[in-house]
Amino acid sequence: MTSAPSTPNSAPSADTPEPDVYPPNPAFAAAANAQPSLYDDAARDRLAFWETQAERLHWHEKWSDVLDWSGAPVAKWFVGGKLNVAYNCVDRHVLEGNGERVAIEFEGEPGDTRTLTYNDLLAEVSRAANAFTDLGLVAGDRVAVYMPMIPEAIVTMLACARLGLTHSVVFGGFSAGALRSRIDDAEAKLVVTVDGQWRRGKPAPLKSAVDEAVDGAESVENVLVVRRTGIDVEWTEGRDLCWHDTVDPASPEHTAQPFDSEHPLFILYTSGTTGKPKGIVHTTGGYLTQVSYTHHNVFDYKPDDVYWCTADIGWVTGHSYIVYGPLSNGVTQVVYEGTPNSPDEHRHFQIIEKYGVSIYYTAPTMVRTFMKWGRAIPDAHDLSSIRLLGSVGEPINPEAWRWYRDVIGGGTAPIVDTWWQTETGAIMISPLPGVTTTKPGSAMAPLPGISAKIVDDDGKDVGNGGSGYLVLDEPWPSMLRGIWGDMDRYRDTYWSRYAEQGWYFAGDGAKFDEDGALWVMGRVDDVMNVSGHRISTAEVESALVGHSGVAEAAVVGATDDTTGQGIVAFVILRQGVENTGDPLIAELRSQVSTDISPIAKPREIHIVPELPKTRSGKIMRRLLRDVAEGRELGDTSTLVDPGVFEAIRKA
Ligand code: WTA
């Protein structure tokens, strides 16, 4: 077992290999929000521990029971409790005398800025809530949000939460078709969007995609449009409303009503193993409890910190660690609209320097991109305000971890590698800064209050040194409550694999090392992880076969130095269709882009004469992955025609 030096004096000499463990700095540990006793408290009485965490929030009415698991796998947390999420994220801070505190430092891509205090945020959210009410929306209705990272997006989400409207945020990079299917599935009545969004210095239309998406969509009554870029948009009278004429003149006074702890807060669509995205449903009391608790302890947030999570609100990280977790804790945070290299690669570091960002939370793919750009770029800036770094979305490779700490974290900032999912709602596995001795690349251990196991096919613990499937063997407050409109799929996807034991199957492979540190290895299903975005192989395959020239397609995720995985497609053309090479491949890539999103565009498309199949007709993706990664082929004995690879390799 490697042991860590406890003081700088016991640091290894030049000829002993440096132990690759990072114990907490004593000064950091002494001041940390999280203390080792958290683990003891949770171990002593898990449910009582969660009750204590729930007391972080303001409850209009207290719960009677902490957990009702009798309807498993659908949990009820803080049964009978009543609260208002927006009140907790905004009003409470104003009432406590912190109305002048900055909530959001907004940095637009073109360089425009806006500062919103908690007073401002309360007025904006109240106006939006009054306007939404005037549109006839009532608690339980669904609202689709299709917006870039601007304050109005956050205001919209909070106004929905305030009124008990269930929001469904759709990432602004998704196509009109993807937006339409999400609007239809949730039967959204209102769509909130912008005229256009800034992308690399240019306005890109967004409202036009909404026009296409809502054409004939029965549920949609109104489209509310924020003017962001000033570009011309088509206007449908009676349906389309301008935010500035609708929300701006509304009253800034609004009294928040309490909702049941299990009232649905949002639906967020994520890729599964079939072509149809799953609408993950989250509710109110348990969700807010866990995002608030984790944000406080994992990010060690203190009142004089400036926090920046670089995610987009279109993903769960934006929901939980830009909107609900941080705002419930009254943070001051940076919200940046644009891409990291606009106008150049210095942008993130300029922002860190300008606002004095002290807590920075991003994805490993971003860190690897910075590495590729070179350390001269961050080194040109004063990043000394950084005191804690976070990572999320995919496993972080040890090399990127060390670079992140050395170059961005000044060689001292602790890194929290946080494992969680859209489905888990909040962080589940992560070091606690100031408590945990970390290892580069390991998410270390379940947080206090969370229980996880790594098991084999039969559900047996793999033990230290073993690898297997990651399962969550106890319910947790921010767990999903189902898949919107498809509870059978919910049971089947997450709860059927270990039905006997009643465990949640996460779909990730993981291992414990010899010291018991937990390493997440990546997906074990047909879901790819590209730059931290979950994309299913089936979705991309169905987009490809949607092209008239394609007979069949097989898609795999192949290791990629920057994006984690890259999408590699193998395509068989229909009889008589000519393979024109590059023009055809460009057409296929753009087909995927318009059908799903540019983020789902394959890195490579190979036109092949045949696909490797088993006798039962199943495509052997494992072998295609070998081909895509340039490896020796694995076992080909079950193939109908092992010669097929000759042909694929030549293609
Ligand atoms: C992966 C993002 C390793 C994992 C919050 C998971 C990670 C999927 C980590 C969920 C991490 C996320 N280490 N893998 N720290 N964080 N993942 O729903 O495969 O977009 O199942 O949620 O991302 O992705 P999702």
Question: What pLDDT score was predicted for residue 5?
Answer: 34
User: Cβ(299) to ligand 1 under 6 A?
Assistant: no
Nearest ligand 1 atom to the CA of 418 is: 15
How are beta strands 564-573 and 550-560 bridged, if at all? antiparallel
Question: What pLDDT score was predicted for residue 637?
Answer: 64
* pLDDT exceeds cutoff 90 at 417: yes
Q: Which of 392, 397, 480 to mutate to test the pocket of ligand 1 (most atoms within 8 A of CB)?
A: 392
d(CA 355, CA 347) in angstroms, rounded, equals: 12
**Mean residue pLDDT across the chain:** 93
Residues 44-48 have a mean pLDDT of 98
Beta-carbon contacts of residue 130 (< 8 Å; ≥ 6 apart)? 250, 251, 254
Question: What pLDDT score was predicted for residue 619?
Answer: 79
Beta-carbon contacts of residue 99 (< 8 Å; ≥ 6 apart)? 93, 117, 118, 119, 122
Residue nearest (by alpha carbon) to ligand 1 atom 25: 421
> For residue 411, with 0-12 CB atoms within 10 Å meaning exposed, 13-18 middle and 19 or more buried, which class applies?
exposed
Rounded to the nearest whole angstrom, what is the distance from the C-alpha of residue 526 to the centroid of ligand 1? 14
Angle at CA of residue 650, ends 647 and 651, nearest 5°: 85
Rounded to the nearest whole angstrom, what is the distance from the C-alpha of residue 506 to the centroid of ligand 1? 10
Rounded to the nearest whole angstrom, what is the distance from the C-alpha of residue 141 to the centroid of ligand 1? 30
Rg (CA), the chain: 25
Confidence grade of residue 272 (pLDDT, cut at 50, 70, 90):
confident
Q: 350 among the known binding-site residues?
A: no
Residue nearest (by alpha carbon) to ligand 1 atom 3: 395
User: Cβ(365) to ligand 1 under 6 A?
Assistant: no
Nearest to 531, CA basis, from 568, 506, 566, 569 = 566
Rounded to the nearest whole angstrom, what is the distance from the C-alpha of residue 222 to the centroid of ligand 1? 35
Q: 464 among the known binding-site residues?
A: no
Q: 3 among the known binding-site residues?
A: no
Q: Which of 508, 518, 535 to mutate to test the pocket of ligand 1 (most atoms within 8 A of CB)?
A: 508
Nearest ligand 1 atom to the CA of 422 is: 18
Confidence grade of residue 29 (pLDDT, cut at 50, 70, 90):
very high
Written as six digits, the tokens of 193 are 């969007």
d(CA 36, CA 39) in angstroms, rounded, equals: 6
User: Cβ(387) to ligand 1 under 6 A?
Assistant: no
Confidence grade of residue 10 (pLDDT, cut at 50, 70, 90):
very low
Confidence grade of residue 518 (pLDDT, cut at 50, 70, 90):
very high
Residue nearest (by alpha carbon) to ligand 1 atom 1: 394
* pLDDT exceeds cutoff 80 at 635: no
Render pLDDT for 72-90 as a digit per residue (tens, 0 to 9). 999 999 999 999 999 999 9
* pLDDT exceeds cutoff 80 at 608: yes
Question: What pLDDT score was predicted for residue 644?
Answer: 73
User: Cβ(417) to ligand 1 under 6 A?
Assistant: yes
Nearest ligand 1 atom to the CA of 521 is: 3
Question: What pLDDT score was predicted for residue 639?
Answer: 64
* pLDDT exceeds cutoff 80 at 618: no
Residues 607-620 have a mean pLDDT of 80
User: Cβ(508) to ligand 1 under 6 A?
Assistant: yes
Q: 562 among the known binding-site residues?
A: no
DSSP code of 338? S
- Per the CB < 8 A criterion, the answer to whether 277 and 271 are in contact is yes
Kindly report the number of other CB atoms within 10 A of residue 277's CB atom.
Answer: 21
* pLDDT exceeds cutoff 50 at 352: yes
Residue nearest (by alpha carbon) to ligand 1 atom 10: 421
Domains of the chain and any CATH numbers: 26-84+283-523 (3.40.50.12780), 118-257 (3.40.50.980), 527-650 (3.30.300.30)
Q: 561 among the known binding-site residues?
A: no
Question: What pLDDT score was predicted for residue 410?
Answer: 98
User: Cβ(312) to ligand 1 under 6 A?
Assistant: no
Q: Answer left, alpha or beta for residue 178, where phi above 0 means left and psi between -120 and 50 means alpha.
A: alpha
Render pLDDT for 365-386 as a digit per residue (tens, 0 to 9). 999 999 999 999 999 999 999 9
d(CA 417, CA 435) in angstroms, rounded, equals: 14
Rounded to the nearest whole angstrom, what is the distance from the C-alpha of residue 616 to the centroid of ligand 1? 32
d(CA 415, CA 389) in angstroms, rounded, equals: 5
User: Cβ(470) to ligand 1 under 6 A?
Assistant: no
- Per the CB < 8 A criterion, the answer to whether 332 and 356 are in contact is no
Instruction: For tokens 């009554």, name the residue.
Output: 221
Q: Which of 420, 442, 565 to mutate to test the pocket of ligand 1 (most atoms within 8 A of CB)?
A: 420
Residue nearest (by alpha carbon) to ligand 1 atom 24: 421
* pLDDT exceeds cutoff 60 at 270: yes
Confidence grade of residue 165 (pLDDT, cut at 50, 70, 90):
very high
Per mean pLDDT, which range of 43-57, 211-225, 629-643 is the poorest? Answer: 629-643
Question: What pLDDT score was predicted for residue 489?
Answer: 96
User: Cβ(534) to ligand 1 under 6 A?
Assistant: yes
Residue nearest (by alpha carbon) to ligand 1 atom 12: 393
- Per the CB < 8 A criterion, the answer to whether 428 and 470 are in contact is no
Q: 200 among the known binding-site residues?
A: yes
Residue type, 127: R
